[in-house]
Structure 1
């Protein structure tokens, strides 16, 4: 396949954590000027592979070579000095520091032996311009940036280290559509300059658009490496999950308008993000929130859950008015509400805590005994959720940080399902997780709806909205522009509505 030499090689790499094999006998190479995609379900071994390649962890067996010479990276800094730079899905930025400080944290520009603050700001401006983020000020604190901007700053930080091999782990999962296009351009420029790109993603369209070659992992083993176009999407998914793909989305029930209204929102407004939004959400239905990212969908979910201050308009739950003055009120509404947040690691989980403690965090009042928490009741409830959601964990006392991304997301879902919600608000719940886990979440959503739950589902993936939802409210500029259902719920209509283009206008 190649007549030139790889820059980075992993030979017969195995990694075990206790008795669990994360990787077994893997041979893997990354070439200069080539984009290689790495595919596989969560828990397939992708994260372990890139942690070994970038110096985060040591292999149990095997060796790493750079330009044909064996190396042992004792830290990510050593890997960076060898030209191997990684942008992890879990951002490494320090939130209390400025963007400029974060971008030069390892090797700041100096003048007379001291940090050159002006030089640091100029360097930050140049790197931010390179990633199309001139709107970010070098002296802004990282904590004040939205998630998509933090992700772009992370990419700028990696570029500042002049990589020979750039590893991107779900680098576009938190980005807006415009930023995704910018990242595509950056990746292609780096490829043209001879940088090798290792690209981990669950988005098949990205793989098709960018990758020269792709490697599939399953259960810690490399299954196959192939060139672009050599395998169909179905064949790739079959390789990833080890079985034939059937019915990606559960069957929808026949449309019905006689189901009782679970939530009625009227004239909701908040700043520029939410402007005069009114809609009904019925028991037993899944309603999607569509549109381009950043049009007010996330703010609408936060407003309904009482997170935002100063929201005007009214909300009724099961026919009774609900004050939007805090999550506690939402959780104790006539139909209890649950919000699955956007960022599972910072908003949904306490990473050092155990699987059990994370799952029961929101439902402790339900598990109380005479003298505090009833441990037998708690353990039974957790085991029931582990079985129901097929959470892969060594045991319920393992730290949730040790789980794969897809299993962490299942723990977040389990935490809120334990509160027995009647209304479930989902904020892009399948972002950055694998095909198999996505299908399990789709199945769970429909199962909950069939049991009478009302689900409001925001997704950046149009195929998910079409496959999962009974109807979709398309939001543009903080307003509902169109409701799509039945035959009108298709990709063309979704895109037209997302861009605020009228179908008749386009035909003209």
Structure 2
């Protein structure tokens, strides 16, 4: 079979930021009517590659060719005008504008010198329908939409620009399972219409389902390109990490004498989102929180961290009833709770500030005396955490925004570990990070549990719940409908419980 010439090609692309080499002699060729997966750990060069491809930044060396002609992009607008459009992991939507305003913001339709609101709404409706999100009202304010629906608006915004090549950077990481299925259907249809797509994801099953071609990056270099389906997952991961791939999840401890709970919820409720939540968490446990997205998992973590008002029921820390009115109270001794939030960009980090400032901000009281920061104590604590989490940063005084996604997530975790918490709440902490960094985080969670912390771990990834957790609380419609332990923690039981049906019913339906 003769393959068509590439629509877009990048040859020997290099990019440096000061003394850091982000890309070195990177090469990739994107065919029309094909989905090209770009694989690699965080920090491998993928983000720099697509920023160059999208006109966000310029390469220091190398050549780009579009339909046989050399091109260069001085801005994203230039790339857009040539038909190259991006959907980045960091959303570019303006929260206080409507969905329709956001979709047409770069080129709104005009009539008599004014924005034609009727035409704008029609464009938005068409783009949303093309993105499989026609249920989103074009006049809704973006700030009122959950993260998963905002991601669908971002995809619709890209499609409204009529691209020839569309870049998707972790475009499904914030989506619910039903939305992921819709996006897959949309991408396959776009491919059949001749669109070229560049797809970045750390979810290997997505690559297996979607990709036609793949290119693996490691340490800023393109390591190998191959046709999808010609390598095993293990071979791909070994190309990504440059070493033999071992078991992803650390071994779970054997049966142990259960200690007194460090955290207990008794009838915890909040509006209609949380209903009679009751469970205990002991030191040394990793307790998973599962279920379909949007069943109250996020609210449960926020309630335990003192974010929500008018929470009913009892929260006990070390057997003592507490009433947390703020995160400040939650993080302070003797409560000592930490929360790693869902969105590191908006909820976990102060992007313009340095790595040092981000790590120490939650624990300044521990390294201060009379309101003055002890810089040597601060530096010693930060250095310890940099080593513990293997955070890759040229200097702790560089902006945290310059780190890769995986290293940014490690900084969020380090920020809370500096406070030495007894209870650690995690809201989907591995979303949008690479296989190697995920493995490091799983190892860290088990190490923290072994050190006596109680960990409450919400994940939308069933493999994580199966591989990491000692127990799993499955939530449905704001309440815990089942607790899985031991051999019960498997995908079949998790799916059945998440749908509020028995696993036997799932098996029977599969057989039929």
Q: Same fold (TM over 0.5)?
A: yes
Shorter-chain TM-score: which interval? over 0.9
Q: Is the 8 A contact 1:317 1:333 kept in 2?
A: no
Matched residue, 1:497: 497
Deviation by residue 1:328-350 (Cα, 9 ceiling, x = unmatched) = 22112534000000000000000
Deviation by residue 1:414-460 (Cα, 9 ceiling, x = unmatched) = 00000110000000000000111111101110111001000000011
Q: Measure, in 1, the Cα distance between the counterparts of 2:123 and 2:311.
A: 40
How many residues are matched? Answer: 508
The structural deviation recorded for 1:257 is: 5.2
Q: Measure, in 2, the Cα distance between the counterparts of 1:351 and 1:202.
A: 23
Q: Is the 8 A contact 1:363 1:418 kept in 2?
A: yes
Q: Measure, in 1, the Cα distance between the counterparts of 2:179 and 2:255.
A: 37
Q: Is the 8 A contact 1:314 1:321 kept in 2?
A: yes
Q: Measure, in 1, the Cα distance between the counterparts of 2:245 and 2:503.
A: 34
Structure-2 change in CA distance of 1:117 and 1:200 (3 Å): same
Deviation by residue 1:219-239 (Cα, 9 ceiling, x = unmatched) = 011111111211000110011
| SS of residue in 1 equivalent to 2:262 | strand
Matched residue, 2:458: 458
Q: Is the 8 A contact 1:262 1:335 kept in 2?
A: no
Structure-2 change in CA distance of 1:507 and 1:461 (3 Å): closer
| SS of residue in 2 equivalent to 1:140 | coil
Matched residue, 2:201: 201
1:206-217 equivalences under 5 Å are 206-217=206-217
Q: Measure, in 2, the Cα distance between the counterparts of 1:482 and 1:107.
A: 50
The structural deviation recorded for 1:197 is: 0.6
Matched residue, 1:32: 32
Q: Is the 8 A contact 2:306 2:325 kept in 1?
A: yes
Matched residue, 2:301: 301
Q: Measure, in 2, the Cα distance between the counterparts of 1:506 and 1:44.
A: 40
Name structure 1 gaps, 5 residues minimum. Answer: none
The answer on 1:186 being equivalent to 2:190 is no
Q: Measure, in 2, the Cα distance between the counterparts of 1:457 and 1:132.
A: 31
The structural deviation recorded for 1:2 is: 5.4
The structural deviation recorded for 1:73 is: 0.5
**Further displaced range: 126-135 or 57-66:** 126-135
1:356-435 equivalences under 5 Å are 356-370=356-370, 372-435=372-435
Name structure 2 gaps, 5 residues minimum. Answer: none
**Further displaced range: 169-178 or 140-149:** 140-149
Q: Is the 8 A contact 1:273 1:295 kept in 2?
A: yes
- Aligned CA RMSD, in angstroms, stands at 1.3
1:50-449 equivalences under 5 Å are 50-256=50-256, 258-332=258-332, 334-370=334-370, 372-449=372-449
Q: Measure, in 2, the Cα distance between the counterparts of 1:504 and 1:26.
A: 50
Q: Is the 8 A contact 1:318 1:334 kept in 2?
A: no
What TM-score do the two structures reach when normalised by structure 2? 0.97
Q: Is the 8 A contact 2:274 2:300 kept in 1?
A: yes
**Further displaced range: 396-405 or 88-97:** 88-97
The structural deviation recorded for 1:116 is: 0.4
Q: Is the 8 A contact 2:492 2:503 kept in 1?
A: no
| SS of residue in 1 equivalent to 2:442 | helix
